[in-house]
Amino acid sequence: MLNFELLKTDPDSHARRATLTLNHGKVQTPIFMPVGTYGTVKGVMPRSLEEMGAQIILGNTFHLWMRPGLDVMQSFGGLHQFEKWDKPILTDSGGFQVWSLGAMRKISEEGVKFASPVNGDKLFLTPEVSMQIQTILNSDIVMQFDECTPYDTKGHITTEAEARVSMELSLRWAKRCQAEFTRLQNPNALFGIVQGGMYENLREESLAALVDMDFPGYAIGGVSVGEPKEEMLHIMGHTPHRLPANKPRYLMGVGTPEDLVQGVADGVDMFDCVMPTRNARNGTLFTRFGDLKMRNARHKSDPQPIDPSCTCHACAGTSGVSWNDGGREGFSRAYLHHLDRCGEMLGPMLTTIHNLHYYLNLMREIREALDAGTFTEFRARFKSDRARGV
Amino acid sequence: MLNFELLKTDPDSHARRATLTLNHGKVQTPIFMPVGTYGTVKGVMPRSLEEMGAQIILGNTFHLWMRPGLDVMQSFGGLHQFEKWDKPILTDSGGFQVWSLGAMRKISEEGVKFASPVNGDKLFLTPEVSMQIQTILNSDIVMQFDECTPYDTKGHITTEAEARVSMELSLRWAKRCQAEFTRLQNPNALFGIVQGGMYENLREESLAALVDMDFPGYAIGGVSVGEPKEEMLHIMGHTPHRLPANKPRYLMGVGTPEDLVQGVADGVDMFDCVMPTRNARNGTLFTRFGDLKMRNARHKSDPQPIDPSCTCHACAGTSGVSWNDGGREGFSRAYLHHLDRCGEMLGPMLTTIHNLHYYLNLMREIREALDAGTFTEFRARFKSDRARGV
């Protein structure tokens, strides 16, 4: 099931506040969804995600199909029980991952043939198989199997004709997904994905055809695939607000904090990205006043937390669990710098909590601003704060 | 400061229950101390250690001297504030680590010359320098700088004459440590370390000389250094109970759960070992009914937690933090097997919590049995339980 209740729209932009109800609970939008590829958001306990206010997380169909495999997933009755996460889950279709296999896969009308990168088994991923796998995973939001149109292939920028062929294939696959999803009596919600590359007319054609199929929600795919920033912003400004106002809109794989704020203004309700978790492991930390490179030697003795105004467990030391001494402040930049230098696991554990908290808190602030009718002021303050430098 | 209050002694063995009071708080003994080499118990948040009931943790003088270095340690006023652990800390002397450098170090009466494995700097670790570093770390228990007598060197078993030379050097260093510790007006407690290899008479000589120096606590070093198990058990049966009854006794670097139970019976109050944390990362998990190899394929679909009777966060899901659904059980063996196979950080995060909880809980059960006067029964049940197999 899926219910989308629009609570408020911003008069100065396409931004909206809504409540999305799924089989495993309610999600307040706009929302950022942490990515849990292999059934775990890298380096974070489920309880920490709950403390941080994560409402919905992602799983990757392709990865979970490879490991642990469908037999294990079936025996657990799906991904929720396996990974101990009882709030909503969204799974992708596996399309992006098989597409990323490059020369190792072969795309036809029927689907994608490829060799398992884990054990070499010859596998065939089709719209029907993707629906079958996602039904076993029992994710609250199932994504249609699509072809992610590349921005370029070895320097050759995808032409309009090529983008059309790809987009039309995705549309035919969308129909097959819908039929299989219905046949399987999947009780969750299937989203269609708008493709069309960087071409407005193709995006509009894709969107119109998908709207005709009447999905309970829509995603915008094929952005954040190597295109110049202005091309991405162009599509963000073009497509989301053209989608039906009474259904959720999900911008796949985006992005920086600035992209999220812009995306909300463009009418997007849902985002996912590996950036907060991956950057945490690489020592790039997000803060209200800009990004911090934890590996920089200037942090060697710095007693400050990552962001003195942040309330995450890494910065404040008290998120969700009471310490014995209550008022103790968080971990210092010097300590995090040291942990990174020594390759200690606690480093990425703490920085991942910080970065995810930053993203989730940013979306919370956006929702509060939308509720209060102050989103325009919020955007201005966000921009000047981030430009200040940390 | 150090105060040692003996609460109870076991009539059937050398076991004792006591309360050890240090500058950062009280420790109920017998106790296991998790090892936090680089200022972090690998893979565990300080708050998780608190939840598990850790009362005192270790830090490694040598490692912390190399990274982050003494300037950073000094600016934080010691290790507690740097690593955000406000209960007691014990630091080793650095002796074991420089000894482990093998050909890269040169031992003389004065101390040990070596090249920093981090940046090649030529360094000189002496009893005085070790005291100076540990004073900067502000650890609650400071260990004397000693030479760890090897069991063998490339197959040559240390002779009594060689063990004597080494033990006597450690005694002279003990005196220098005591003088420097006093000169520095270190407000914490300095422990002497009994050496003497596998030779009872040398152990007795070392012990008598150290007792004459009147340390507030004593350790037994030079065990668990590659000797056959029966040699270790022989020294454990010989030395601990000969130490002064009114002072704490610390058996360094030991050991398996069986070793801990035996060590308590032999009169030991304090233990440390990397086994629970290292084994967790390598997939060997301790349980009441024996050890579990998490990498074994038979766990692939097993829905059971590591140990259904265990109350740790990995097994019970509820340690210290309430989940939204309260009664939810812990993570399955299948999930932990999967995380290990995928190299996901959450695997060692959860298994480390489990193994440390096992060790800390074992010591809690030992203390309860000593309090109740049922230690003999406890030992019998422990032995039969562990032999049952998991």
ipTM of the complex: 0.96
| Nearest by CB: B301 against A71, A86, A338 | A71
Average pLDDT over residues B58-79: 97
Q: Is A6 within 8 Å of chain B by CB?
A: no
Per-residue pLDDT at B297 exceeds 50: yes
Q: What is the pLDDT of residue B325?
A: 40
Instruction: Write out residues 37-66 of A within 8 Å (CB-CB) of B.
Output: 38-40, 42-45, 47, 50-51
Rounded CA-CA distance A307/A328 in Å is: 15
Same domain (yes/no): B284, B227: no
Same domain (yes/no): B8, B113: yes
Same domain (yes/no): B103, B223: yes
Establish whether A92 is an annotated binding residue. yes
Q: What is the DSSP letter of A104?
A: G
Same domain (yes/no): A57, A200: yes
Q: Is B295 within 8 Å of chain A by CB?
A: no
Instruction: Write out residues 301-330 of A within 8 Å (CB-CB) of B.
Output: 301, 303, 313, 317, 320-321, 323-325, 328, 330
Per-residue pLDDT at B193 exceeds 70: yes
Average pLDDT over residues B191-206: 98
Rounded CA-CA distance A308/A21 in Å is: 35
- Number of independent structural domains in chain A: 2
Q: How far is B147 from chain A (nearest CA, A)?
A: 26
Cβ atoms B111, B124 nearer than 8 A:
yes
Same domain (yes/no): B45, B178: yes
Q: Which residues of A touch B54 (CB under 8 A)?
A: none
How far are the Cα atoms of A259, B261, B292 from residue B389, in angstroms, in the given order? 55, 18, 9
Contact between chains at B44 and A75 (C-beta distance less than 8 A): no
Mean pLDDT by 10 residues, chain A (390 residues): 98 98 98 98 95 96 97 97 96 92 90 93 96 98 96 95 98 98 98 98 98 98 95 98 98 98 98 98 97 97 93 76 48 97 98 98 98 98 96
Instruction: Write out residues 350-389 of B within 8 Å (CB-CB) of A.
Output: 350
Q: What is the pLDDT of residue A317?
A: 80
Rounded CA-CA distance B386/B290 in Å is: 5
Q: What is the pLDDT of residue A99?
A: 85
Same domain (yes/no): A291, A162: no
Question: pLDDT tens digit string along B30-39?
Answer: 999 999 999 9
* CA angle at A276 for the pair A275 and A282, rounded to the nearest 5°: 80
Question: pLDDT tens digit string along B199-247?
Answer: 999 999 999 999 999 999 999 999 999 999 999 999 999 999 999 999 9
Q: Which amino acid type is present at position A76?
A: F
Per-residue pLDDT at B44 exceeds 90: yes
Q: What is the pLDDT of residue B317?
A: 80
Question: pLDDT tens digit string along B309-357?
Answer: 899 999 988 533 333 344 457 999 999 999 999 999 999 999 999 999 9
Same domain (yes/no): A285, A349: yes
Rounded CA-CA distance B5/A377 in Å is: 63
Per-residue pLDDT at B102 exceeds 90: no
Q: What is the DSSP letter of A150?
A: -
Cβ atoms B225, B163 nearer than 8 A:
no
Does the global pTM surpass 0.90?
yes
Same domain (yes/no): A310, A348: yes
Same domain (yes/no): B236, B209: yes
A272 flagged as catalytic: yes
Q: SS3 for B56? A: coil
Q: Which residue of B has its CA nearest to A74?
A: B301
Cβ atoms B352, B43 nearer than 8 A:
yes
**How confident is the prediction for chain B on average, in pLDDT?**
95
Q: What is the DSSP string of A268-310?
A: --EEE-SHHHHHHHTTEEEETTEEEETTSGGGTT--S-S-TT-
Quote the percentage of chain B above a pLDDT of 70: 97
Domain boundary among B209, B244, B272: B272
CATH code, A121: 3.20.20.105
Same domain (yes/no): A41, A59: yes
**What is the domain range of residue A37?**
3-272
Q: What is the pLDDT of residue B321?
A: 39
> Which has the closest alpha carbon to A194: A231, A133, A269, A143?
A143
Rounded CA-CA distance A353/A360 in Å is: 10
Q: Identify the H or E element spanning A17.
A: strand A16-22
Same domain (yes/no): A118, A202: yes
A217 forms beta bridges with: A191
Q: How far is A170 from chain B (nearest CA, A)?
A: 31
Per-residue pLDDT at B23 exceeds 70: yes
Rounded CA-CA distance B74/A301 in Å is: 10
| Helix locations, A144-186, DSSP H | 160-183
Same domain (yes/no): B127, B160: yes
Question: pLDDT tens digit string along B103-160?
Answer: 889 999 999 999 999 999 999 999 999 999 999 999 999 999 999 999 999 999 999 9
Domain boundary among A272, A307, A324: A272
Distance of CA A232 to the CA centre of its chain: 16
Domain boundary among B272, B300, B317: B272
Longest dimension (CA), chain B: 65
